[in-house]
Amino acid sequence: MDTKLTLKLDKQVIEQAKKYAKAHKVSLSRLIENYLKALTGSKNNQAGVSPLVKDLTGVVKIDDRDYKADYTDYLEKKYR
């Protein structure tokens, strides 16, 4: 159920947020709702995951490499 909320914010912040929302093709209300869900740890935040991301989930196979050890080796070689 949607409920109206009135906020007082700096005018520049509002204008920047509107530009961001427009560039990402999302309403300012939805943008703020998603932010608050993420901030509060809401588990019902499915709107934040785009269909493209859902489609790509599981496409990349990751092997069981120890990336931390690989990076350590890289740094050791780099700074010798």
Q: What are the tens digits of pLDDT across the range 5-32?
A: 999 999 999 999 999 989 988 899 998 9
Encode 8-28: b = buried (16+ Cβ within 10 Å), e = exposed: eeeeeeeeeeeeebeeeeeee
- Based on the structure, what is the number of domains in the chain? 1
Within a domain: residue 36? yes
| Confidence category of residue 79, pLDDT binned at 50, 70, 90 | very high
Domain that holds residue 56: 11-78
Within a domain: residue 4? no
pLDDT value at residue 2 = 87
The yes-or-no verdict on residue 49 having pLDDT over 60 is yes
Within a domain: residue 74? yes
| Confidence category of residue 46, pLDDT binned at 50, 70, 90 | low
Within a domain: residue 2? no
pTM for the predicted model, two decimal places: 0.49
Contact between 27 and 21 under an 8 Å Cβ cutoff? The reply is yes
Within a domain: residue 3? no
In angstroms, the CA 47 to CA 52 distance is 12
